[in-house]
């Protein structure tokens, strides 16, 4: 019971905040070589005919490929796993490259869910974030996917952009809801080490938003989306008519997954490996019939538990430690009760001896709580 992740590492621009493995490459020869390598890697890493729990085409920007190459990519994966039979198949679409033609190609290959990278509807914030589209482009991408028959559309939004006001974020959420999405992901902008944005902050050219404003945005997001009928099933994720994202839920529940493409990570029963990150190095290895993994590690038993708690505590349902004990056959509660106790004492977590959850106060400090659990591994 594994999920499949396919990483498409190309983007139109490299957004200043982004530390994902993505590159600006418009040489279509590189795209062709990427497709040949994906086919090879899939042939060795995914058994033909085995149905994945979910498939996710992420990036980077899968929608950036030309219509012919996009169809080729979907055809390669479809031939291996039978996309039409998979319970959930998602692709990430960016407004600047998604067209009605590509939406129809995806639909014809059994893709039923798309996640659109909107981030903001305000021109000045889109510009600050280096996005290659405007608000109208995001709305047009949404309309094109709906017109092609997609009935499960998710939007990615970001709040806490330097200089952004609470009112602007409220407007963003309202405008997103007007589209009628089936799922929403709302992320607080993070200053990731090594990014252009973080360098600008270190030089004093950019100042992060006031933490109080970010907190108000976070709380407003939950209130507004819950009032609109969305379920806050994870700190940053909201399920509407489309339900939860099965692919992410499987990952948060520490399920097995195979990742193909440069920099893609895989996890099988406590063993994790990550592909070489540069597109050339990854493709060289795969096309020479060599392993594409650049690193691998076997998680120590205590580390496995810590990761399960780190990922699971962000879900509204929390983590069932008794179920975790049964699954991993490890003394989870004996090991982690002393780690959980101070979180409960500080009022950040709730624990009844079986289920561990974030409290209302802990939700605002989810990274701190989950980080403490991970560090105890």
Residues interacting with ligand SF4, by CB under 6 A? 11, 14-15, 18, 20, 22, 59-61, 94, 117
- Report in angstroms how near the CB of residue 220 gets to ligand SF4 at its nearest: 23
Q: What is the DSSP letter of 118?
A: E
- Residue placing its CB nearer to ligand SF4 in the complex, 53 or 260: 260
- Report in angstroms how near the CB of residue 241 gets to ligand SF4 at its nearest: 25
In sign, the C-alpha dihedral spanning 22, 28, 29, 35 is: positive
CB 34 within 8 A of CB 283: yes
* Residue 32 binds which of ligand SF4, ligand SAM, none (CB < 5-8 A, kind-dependent): none
Please report whether residue 119 would count as binding ligand SAM according to CB under 6 A. Answer: yes
Please report whether residue 189 would count as binding ligand SAM according to CB under 6 A. Answer: yes
* Residue 83 binds which of ligand SF4, ligand SAM, none (CB < 5-8 A, kind-dependent): none
- Residue placing its CB nearer to ligand SF4 in the complex, 15 or 126: 15
- Residue placing its CB nearer to ligand SF4 in the complex, 187 or 335: 187
- Residue placing its CB nearer to ligand SAM in the complex, 4 or 197: 197
- Residue placing its CB nearer to ligand SF4 in the complex, 26 or 211: 26
CB 166 within 8 A of CB 159: no
Question: How far apart, in whole angstroms, are the C-alpha atoms of residue 87 and residue 3?
Answer: 11
CB 72 within 8 A of CB 62: no
Enumerate long-range contacts of 292-297, CB under 8 Å, 24 or more apart: 292/41, 296/271, 296/272, 297/271, 297/272, 297/273
Site string for ligand SAM, 279-308 (x = CB under 6 A): ------------------------------
Range 55-114, binding ligand SAM (CB under 6 A)? 59-61, 92, 94
195, with CB counted inside 10 A (0-12, 13-18, 19+), is: middle
- Residue placing its CB nearer to ligand SF4 in the complex, 15 or 363: 15
C-beta atoms surrounding 313 within 10 Å: 25
CB 364 within 8 A of CB 218: yes
* Residue 52 binds which of ligand SAM, ligand SF4, none (CB < 5-8 A, kind-dependent): none
Please report whether residue 192 would count as binding ligand SAM according to CB under 6 A. Answer: yes
Site string for ligand SAM, 7-26 (x = CB under 6 A): ----------xx-x------
Please report whether residue 190 would count as binding ligand SAM according to CB under 6 A. Answer: yes
85, with CB counted inside 10 A (0-12, 13-18, 19+), is: exposed
Of 53-61, 102-110, 225-233, 367-375, the window that binds ligand SAM (rule: CB under 6 A) is 53-61
The CA-based angle 342-222-180, given to 5 degrees, is 150
- Report in angstroms how near the CB of residue 118 gets to ligand SAM at its nearest: 8
- Residue placing its CB nearer to ligand SAM in the complex, 225 or 332: 225
* Residue 14 binds which of ligand SAM, ligand SF4, none (CB < 5-8 A, kind-dependent): ligand SF4
Closest CA to 112 of 270, 243, 299: 243
* Residue with token string 């729990």: 53
Q: What single string gives the DSSP state of each residue in 276-289?
A: -SSHHHHHHHHHTT
């Amino acid at each position: 019971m594994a999920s499949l992740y396919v990483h498409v590492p190309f983007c139109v621009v490299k957004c200043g905040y982004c530390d994902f493995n993505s590159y600006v490459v418009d040489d279509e020869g590189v795209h062709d070589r990427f497709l040949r390598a994906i086919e090879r890697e899939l042939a060795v890493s995914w058994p033909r005919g085995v149905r994945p729990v979910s498939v996710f085409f992420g990036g980077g920007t899968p929608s950036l490929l030309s219509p012919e190459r996009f169809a080729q990519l979907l055809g390669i994966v479809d031939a291996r796993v039978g996309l039409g039979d998979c319970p959930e198949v998602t692709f990430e679409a960016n407004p600047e490259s998604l067209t009605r033609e590509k939406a129809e190609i995806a639909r014809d290959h059994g893709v039923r869910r798309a996640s659109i990278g909107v981030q903001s509807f305000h021109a000045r914030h889109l510009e600050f974030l280096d996005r290659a589209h405007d608000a109208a482009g995001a709305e047009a991408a949404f309309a094109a996917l709906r017109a092609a028959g997609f009935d499960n559309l998710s939007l990615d939004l970001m709040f806490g952009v330097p200089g952004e006001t609470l009112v602007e974020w409220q407007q963003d959420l309202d405008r997103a809801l007007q589209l009628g999405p089936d799922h929403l992901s709302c992320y607080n902008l993070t200053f990731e080490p090594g990014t252009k944005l973080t360098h600008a902050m270190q030089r004093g050219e950019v100042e992060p938003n006031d933490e109080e404003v970010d907190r108000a945005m976070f709380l407003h997001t939950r209130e507004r989306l819950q009032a609109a009928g969305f379920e806050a099933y994870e700190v940053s994720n909201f399920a509407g008519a489309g339900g939860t994202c099965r692919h992410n839920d499987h990952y948060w529940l520490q399920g097995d997954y195979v990742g193909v493409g440069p920099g893609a990570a895989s996890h099988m029963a406590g063993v994790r490996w990550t592909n070489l990150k540069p597109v050339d190095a990854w493709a060289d290895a795969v096309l020479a019939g060599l392993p594409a993994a650049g690193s691998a590690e076997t998680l120590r038993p205590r580390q496995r538990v810590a990761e399960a708690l780190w990922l699971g505590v962000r879900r509204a349902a929390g983590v069932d430690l008794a179920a975790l004990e049964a699954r991993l056959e490890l003394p989870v509660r004996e090991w982690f009760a002393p780690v959980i106790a101070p979180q409960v004492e500080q009022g950040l977590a709730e624990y009844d001896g079986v289920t561990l959850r974030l409290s209302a106060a802990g939700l605002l400090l989810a990274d701190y709580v989950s980080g403490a659990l991970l560090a105890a591994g």
